């Protein structure tokens, strides 16, 4: 008996399904049509499954097998807590809406095969589809909270986009108790009639245990925590001090007065600055740690760095891209120690133009480690004590402030957008419990370092663009006209307008809008909505410009300790400087850089999402101390479900529509407001309001407020 290979079986099936006479049918009918013997049915089903996984055939909602048409596409599914979702198709701007009844067994971040319907069932939807098949699961493990029930139980996923609790049968609970944070391996992903099922594989700790919440987030997002043995072994060869032989051939910049300016608790110092002035020209040096001298391409360290993509900063816990022996040691630009660097040396005129520049391998010696608060005290507060303490450096700090102002003015003139949205700063105690939450202070000291890093990034990007060599750029595309049109409709309620909303908009229009709302009650709200109307920045191999910065050329060069794209372009820059960027090396980088850009963008998103999730948990934990108390806030969102209110400390909670007293409230979608049916009382975006904290729920990730009155003097959380 001849043995037929799997490929031959697949070819035979494809021949039948591709024939003109074939009519879509179920798999069992196809087996009958092809006269498949009973003993070969298992191999036949495997071949059909393989063809489905390859996307060469599809199985529609009626379970009929057929060839995929032009309307059958692969993409990544993004779920929602309400059951419906969206699928993002590569190289297309508009996502495909998937109604809840058409999701099948797809879950958040799964790669799926969908069919785009010609006639959407949801009015106003441009593209609507149905999930035909899950091609690749995002993760077989889910982190969540266990709820016990007579020997069996359920896991409530931390990722609310997963869409369903997971049933845990008896004997597979690993003795977890209600409230345990657990890792659950999914054994069945569910369908229309049956919940997903799984087995508990690991108990992280109890939901109320200190630190278990952050560890749960780390596990849920799949962020690598421990470094593998190969990396640990490689670290044994990392020196504690710079070898004098490694400084040979480098430009010696140790005589330059050089400082680092960072946060008070920063340990990985990867950028230093120097500045002098000769006549009408500023000589700015931006010196970046030469991490690639110690992290060689394709080494265990390099592979692990790419796998992480970026360092993760989760309140009081840092998960570094590189081990501390590097990030806090030989690669950190610690004061008083020789360090290897890549320096971008720029000659800048009084209008902010870089008239000359060079990029060199260097050896530097940082004279002083400065903090943002100290520099602020000197240049902004004119603090006499701090000025005396650092008197040797004070003239340079004022010169830096002067140049930063020139660079900022130039960027503003060309249309660069500055979103001065207060970031959240959370202070925790030794147990990880939040003790203070408020907006992160941005001042002239933090801004001058931003200004210097921006001009270095632009200079390096433009230099290598014109050399036409493979590179990784930081790209921020122009926003979709449709989203800008929606923003224009919204801000019209505040008497504001944006020009050219039906065409490609210029950054200056956004800049102009932000200047109009500067200092107003609705400033923070409109800033956030405007930011959401723009696209996300990403890494690309093409230099497509940066819309937000109004920059034609931009890259990330200044943080190789904590960002992989910076590390990668340092390699290219050094090879190029030394004349070793050969044709074979160019082909090598052309091959690998698209994946580097894609993975770096992906892991950056992961880090951002994890950071937001931890912030949300800490805010819930913090506000649980203030149940029953009243605070002033601003309505930051209006939906058919109720009002979202943001407090002055950046905490946001919801006032559910059914909890609004005194009337029956209707959602006016056009004007983003709730209107009382009888009293005509309105709640609208940007409106100040006094709320009472009614409750918090770490499991559901919610903070519930109620209306307590009109604005008046109230105490802020954390100021009692």
Domain borders along the chain are 6-66, 72-136, 141-209, 229-460, 481-534, 627-709
Mean pLDDT of 36-47: 90
pLDDT tens-place string over residues 630-687: 999 988 888 889 999 999 888 999 999 998 988 899 998 777 789 998 999 999 888 8
Query: Cα–Cα distances in Å, from 694 out to 99, 621, 626, 639?
Result: 33, 14, 9, 19
Q: Any idea which of 51-55, 544-548, 566-570, 695-699 has the lowest mean pLDDT? A: 51-55
Confidence at residue 3, expressed as pLDDT on a 0 to 100 scale: 61
Class of domain 141-209: mainly beta
- Same fold flag, 72-136 and 627-709: yes
Q: What are phi and psi of 640, to 5 degrees?
A: -70, -15
pLDDT tens-place string over residues 154-182: 999 988 888 789 999 999 999 899 999 99
CA pair distance 189, 135, nearest whole angstrom: 13
Q: Any idea which of 240-249, 425-434, 553-562, 601-610 has the lowest mean pLDDT? A: 425-434
Torsion angle, alpha carbons of 318, 321, 324, 330, to 10: -140
Class of domain 6-66: mainly alpha
What the block records as the tokens of 466 is 């014109």
CA pair distance 384, 555, nearest whole angstrom: 39
Q: What percent of the chain has pLDDT over 90?
A: 60
CATH ID of 72-136, from 2.60.120.40, 2.60.40.10, 1.10.220.10, 2.40.50.140: 2.40.50.140
Closest listed residue to residue 681, CA positions, set 704, 656, 702, 661: 661
Strands lying side by side in the sheet with 682-684 = 665-668, 673-676, 682-684
pTM given for the model: 0.85
pLDDT at 365 exceeding the cut of 90 = yes
Residue count of the chain, please give it. Answer: 720
In terms of CATH architecture, what is 627-709?
Beta Barrel (2.40)
CA pair distance 328, 334, nearest whole angstrom: 9
CA pair distance 116, 130, nearest whole angstrom: 7
27: enclosing H helix or E strand: helix 27-33
Closest listed residue to residue 51, CA positions, set 11, 106, 18: 11
Mean pLDDT of 88-111: 83
pLDDT at 99 exceeding the cut of 70 = yes
């Amino acid at each position: 008996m001849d043995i037929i290979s799997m490929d031959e079986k697949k070819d035979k099936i494809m021949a039948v399904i591709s024939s003109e006479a074939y009519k879509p049918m179920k798999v069992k009918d196809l087996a009958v049509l092809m006269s498949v013997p009973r003993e070969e049915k298992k191999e036949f089903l495997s071949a059909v499954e393989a063809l489905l996984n390859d996307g060469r055939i599809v199985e529609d909602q009626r379970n009929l097998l057929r060839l995929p048409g032009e309307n059958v596409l692969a993409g990544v599914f993004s779920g929602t807590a309400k059951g419906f979702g969206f699928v993002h198709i590569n190289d297309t701007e508009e996502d495909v809406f998937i109604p809840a009844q058409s999701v099948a067994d797809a879950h958040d971040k799964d790669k799926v095969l969908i069919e785009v319907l010609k006639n959407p069932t949801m009015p106003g939807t441009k593209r609507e589809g149905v999930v035909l098949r899950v091609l690749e699961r995002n993760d077989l493990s889910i982190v969540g909270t266990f709820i016990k029930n007579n020997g069996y139980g359920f896991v409530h996923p931390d990722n609310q986009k997963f869409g369903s609790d997971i049933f845990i049968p008896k004997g597979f609970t690993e003795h977890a108790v209600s409230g345990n944070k657990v890792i659950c391996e999914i054994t069945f992903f569910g369908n229309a009639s049956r919940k997903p099922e799984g087995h508990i594989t690991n108990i992280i700790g109890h939901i109320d245990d200190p630190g278990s919440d952050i560890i749960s987030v780390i596990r849920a997002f799949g962020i690598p925590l421990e470094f593998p043995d190969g990396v640990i072994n490689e670290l044994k060869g990392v020196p504690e001090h710079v070898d004098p032989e490694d400084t040979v051939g480098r430009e010696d910049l140790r005589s330059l007065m050089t400082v680092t300016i960072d946060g008070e608790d920063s340990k990985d110092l990867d950028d230093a600055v120097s500045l002098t002035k000769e006549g009408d020209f500023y000589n700015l040096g931006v010196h970046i740690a030469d991490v690639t001298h110690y992290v060689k391409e394709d080494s265990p360290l390099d592979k692990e760095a790419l796998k992480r993509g970026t360092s993760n900063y989760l309140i009081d816990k840092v998960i570094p891209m590189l081990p501390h022996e590097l990030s806090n040691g030989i690669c950190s630009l610690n004061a008083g120690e020789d360090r290897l660097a890549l320096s971008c040396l720029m000659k800048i005129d009084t209008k902010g133009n870089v008239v000359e520049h060079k990029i060199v391998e260097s050896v530097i010696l940082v004279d002083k480690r400065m903090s943002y608060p100290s520099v602020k005290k000197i240049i902004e507060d004119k603090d006499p004590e701090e000025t005396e303490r650092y008197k040797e450096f004070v003239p340079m700090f004022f010169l830096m402030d002067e140049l930063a102002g020139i660079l900022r003015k130039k960027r503003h003139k060309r249309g660069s957008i500055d979103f001065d949205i207060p970031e959240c700063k959370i202070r925790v105690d030794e147990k990880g419990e939040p003790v203070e939450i408020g907006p992160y202070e941005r001042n002239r000291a933090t801004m001058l370092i931003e200004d210097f890093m921006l001009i270095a990034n632009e200079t390096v990007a433009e230099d290598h663009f014109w050399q036409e060599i493979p590179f990784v750029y930081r790209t921020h595309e122009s926003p979709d006209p449709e989203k800008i049109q929606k923003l224009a409709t919204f801000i019209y309620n505040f008497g504001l307008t944006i020009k050219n909303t039906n065409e490609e908009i210029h950054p200056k229009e956004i800049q102009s809008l932000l200047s109009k709302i500067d200092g107003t009650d609705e400033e923070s709200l409109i800033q956030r909505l405007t930011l959401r109307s723009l696209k996300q920045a990403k890494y690309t191999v093409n230099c497509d410009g940066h819309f937000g910065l109004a920059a034609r050329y931009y890259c990330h060069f200044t943080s190789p300790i904590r960002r992989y794209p910076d590390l990668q372009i340092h390699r290219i820059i050094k090879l190029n400087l030394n004349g070793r960027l050969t044709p074979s090396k160019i082909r090598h980088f052309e091959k690998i850089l698209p994946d580097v850009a894609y993975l770096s963008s992906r892991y950056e998103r992961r880090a951002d999402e994890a950071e937001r999730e931890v912030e949300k948990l800490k805010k819930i934990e913090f506000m649980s101390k203030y149940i029953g108390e009243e605070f002033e806030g601003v309505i930051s969102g209006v939906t058919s479900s109720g009002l979202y209110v943001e407090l002055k400390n950046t905490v946001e909670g919801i006032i559910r529509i059914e909890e609004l007293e005194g009337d029956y409230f209707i959602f006016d979608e056009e004007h983003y407001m709730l209107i009382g049916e009888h009293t005509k009382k309105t709640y609208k975006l940007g409106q100040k309001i006094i709320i009472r904290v009614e409750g918090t729920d770490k499991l559901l990730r919610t903070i519930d407020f109620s209306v307590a009155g009109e604005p008046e003097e109230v105490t802020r959380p954390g100021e009692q």
